[in-house]
Chains A and B, each alone.
Chain A
Amino acid sequence: MTLQQVMDTCGIEGVFVPDAQAAVTAAYTSDLLSDVMAHCPDGAVLITVQNHKNTVAVCTLVGAPAILVVHNREIPAEMSDVARREGVALLRTADDQFAASCKIAAALAKNS
């Protein structure tokens, strides 16, 4: 499934999408960066409320192509700067982590 398909299926806003055709093969939900580093699978969209530049850094380490920020949290300039530099997509939704996870799961299931 591509990032674009995820966004379309779930009605998610793309704040910064360097490559809309990037492959999304999984999803991971966590707000603890140590946990993301330890368990986030390659090719996952990270579902989190952590709107912080460190989140982007961790995603590049684990090979997660996109971050879905929940609760419509504002994406600070620092975070988008690093995202641009590292090529990590930033998405945003008004849903919380639970709802967002279920929607992404449904989309992934449909498209696999």
Chain B
Amino acid sequence: MTILEVSEVLKAEVLVKGEGCQKAIRHVVASDLMSDVLLVDEDDMLLLTSLSSDQVLRTAQIVGAVGVIVVNGKPLPSSMVNVAHDLRMTLATSPFSKYDACVAVYEALKLK
């Protein structure tokens, strides 16, 4: 399942379509701590987070994530959209809570 398909499940608005938007997601990380994210050594992962900062995207690029979905329906700063464009990273925002998003994504991935 791709991040675009997951975004549909999470009723997320896709703000930036990045390079990895057609890749199949192989791992999901639901963390708000950058160091925690950096510990994950998996390919093609999706980052679900409550944090709406540029560093989320920069961290995502460092670990090679396919994209970032910011939860809790937070309005994202325009700087974040710019950084997503610079890094060619898919960025979306979902009204789900992180807990609900985890459950929904898990169900959707299971069915695929």
Partners in one complex: yes
For this complex, into which size category does the number of interface residues on chain A fall? 10 to 19
Q: Which of A30, A71, A98 has the most CB of B within 10 A?
A: A98
- B102 to A32, Cβ gap below 8 A? no
A31 an interface residue at 8 Å Cβ cutoff? yes
Interface set, chain B 33-74, CB cutoff 8 A to A: 33, 36, 40, 48, 50-51, 72
- Known contacts A27-B99, A39-B97, A47-B99, A32 near B51 by CB under 8 Å: yes
- The chain B residue sitting closest to A105, CB to CB, is B103
CA distance A39 to B105 in the complex (A): 20
- Known contacts A31-B33, A50-B33, A97-B31, A105 near B48 by CB under 8 Å: no
- A102 to B36, Cβ gap below 8 A? no
- Known contacts A35-B72, A96-B29, A96-B30, A29 near B36 by CB under 8 Å: no
- A101 to B30, Cβ gap below 8 A? yes
The main secondary structure of chain A at its interface with chain B is mixed
Which of chain B's residues have a CB closer than 8 A to the CB of A47?
A: 99
Which of chain A's residues have a CB closer than 8 A to the CB of B33?
A: 31, 49-50
- A98 to B28, Cβ gap below 8 A? yes
- Known contacts A30-B50, A32-B50, A98 near B32 by CB under 8 Å: no
Nearest CB in chain A: distance from B50 CB, A: 5
CA distance A96 to B103 in the complex (A): 14
- B29 to A29, Cβ gap below 8 A? no
- The chain A residue sitting closest to B99, CB to CB, is A29
- The chain A residue sitting closest to B106, CB to CB, is A102
* 11 extra A-B contacts, CB within 8 A, seeds A35-B50, A105-B99: A28-B97, A28-B98, A29-B97, A29-B102, A30-B50, A31-B32, A49-B33, A49-B36, A97-B102, A98-B105, A105-B102
